[in-house]
Structure 1
């Protein structure tokens, strides 16, 4: 029986691998719009798709990001300035894309732009902290998608949304996980809405990788800054050791579990863009596959216990 089940499992994975191999043709006639291309996944994806022959529209927040991509990529790549929080900026890029793609439409948009700070326990933050991150990580995804959705419908193309394993389980306070849960919900509803138009909507749920989102210096400075700004009574609630524990967790566990091979994520993005039969969801990273996603299916009492023992510092008041 064991060998029979093993054979079935092997057959399934071989079948899926063969089924997912074919790629779309006419890459040179397909435009792909990628946000958040200054660094990290977006930057690598823009370069990778350009090498594969796609006509990439790489949206960057900084002039430096735009200039570096122009220098390192072919003349087929177009770099553009984009602030996903600005309706005017989103509309301006969308109008330029419409002029560029013409009647063929836009093959894909990859919503990659995102930030990870400010992040902290919920009562360390203000509503403005929440609004800032939601405007980038969630409202920005929705705004960019809606701005080019008619062009994607025309091409019967793809929407690729970059969420996170923290769109499945909330292991930290603050707006980051809220924004990623929202991206998951938007992704699922859009997938159902767009199916009738031949548009595929795919979701990337990475685990921990070495990008600005998991940069230990950025995360540590964020925690210190928020701690210093907090009222004394809130600091007293958490206890004097809480800051030290939080910084140790960032320096130790976040750094250790973050994978340096960003191409694991980029290859999933590329597959979502170029495969004839893309997957609905991709979960790059061993921590995503074997820790975070299984944890998200466990009973709450089990997942809460594991998180408080392994991933979340405990405040003095509840020790």
Structure 2
């Protein structure tokens, strides 16, 4: 009995491997629009797809980022300045894309632009701290998608949305985890709606990686800034020891992140070029071996794990 079960699982994996290795034809004629290409995943993906011969339309927040990317790629790659928090910028970029793709439509839309700070204990934050992250990571992504969908549908193409393991397990306060839960929900509904038109939607769920979002002390600096702005009552409740322990924990999380960004961009590339892309891609060993299994545990057990492993406020001791 067990032998038959092992054989069945083995055959299923072989079939899955065979299907996933089938590549879309005429990649050199397909256009892909990527947001957040100044650095990190978006920048690397743009260069990766350019080397593969695809027509990359890279959106950068700054002219400096766009120029640096153009200097490292072929003449096929084109750049545009885009601020995903501004409607007029999105509309202009959409028109720019339409002029380039013409009747062929847009094969791939990669919603990669995102920010991680400010985040910290919820009581240290205000509404604007949440709104700042949600405007980029969720609302900006939604508005870009809404504007680009007609072109994607025309090509019967792909939408690739960058979420996070924090979209499965919320580990800290602030808008980041909320935004990534929103990305998951939006992507699921979008995938089901667009399946009737032959459009595929994939979600990328990276674990911890060292990008410009986390380098140069941005994460601990953000936490320290929130502490400085907190009321005297909040500081008394949490205590200096809590702050120091939290900063140490944040630094450890950043330092433990992987330097190999190709673990993420390879997932993005597969979602764009495979005939049979996956619905979700978990990138990084921490995502596969810790966060993903953790997300399937009963809620009370997840809560207990975080309670006993987390830093405790002074008045909770």
* TM-score with structure 1 setting the length: 0.96
Contact conserved, 1:208 with 1:214, CA < 8 A, in 2? no
Partner of 2:86: 86
* CA root-mean-square deviation: 1.3
Contact conserved, 1:32 with 1:110, CA < 8 A, in 2? yes
Separation in structure 1 between the aligned mates of residue 53 and residue 306 of structure 2, nearest angstrom: 44
Partner of 2:151: 151
Q: Give 3-state SS (helix, strand or coil) of 1:120's partner.
A: coil
Q: Give 3-state SS (helix, strand or coil) of 2:75's partner.
A: coil
Separation in structure 2 between the aligned mates of residue 65 and residue 213 of structure 1, nearest angstrom: 15
Following superposition, the deviation at residue 115 of structure 1 comes to: 0.2
Separation in structure 2 between the aligned mates of residue 185 and residue 125 of structure 1, nearest angstrom: 24
- Are residue 138 (structure 1) and residue 138 (structure 2) matched? yes
Following superposition, the deviation at residue 314 of structure 1 comes to: 1.9
Contact conserved, 2:202 with 2:280, CA < 8 A, in 1? yes
Contact conserved, 1:119 with 1:174, CA < 8 A, in 2? yes
Alignment of 1:262-301 (within 5 A): 262-301=261-300
Tell me the alpha carbon deviations over residues 23-46 of structure 1, each in whole angstroms, 9 at most, x when there is no partner.
111112110000000111000000
Partner of 1:96: 96
Partner of 1:318: 316
Greater mean alpha carbon deviation, residues 171-180 or residues 14-23: 14-23
Contact conserved, 2:35 with 2:110, CA < 8 A, in 1? yes
Q: Give 3-state SS (helix, strand or coil) of 1:205's partner.
A: strand
Partner of 1:35: 35
Closer, same or farther: CA 191–4 of 1 in aligned 2, 3 Å: same
Q: Give 3-state SS (helix, strand or coil) of 2:283's partner.
A: coil
Q: Give 3-state SS (helix, strand or coil) of 1:56's partner.
A: strand
Partner of 2:116: 116
Q: Which runs of 5+ in 1 are unaligned?
A: none
Contact conserved, 1:216 with 1:250, CA < 8 A, in 2? no
Contact conserved, 1:118 with 1:222, CA < 8 A, in 2? yes
* TM-score with structure 2 setting the length: 0.97
Partner of 2:53: 53
Q: Which runs of 5+ in 2 are unaligned?
A: none
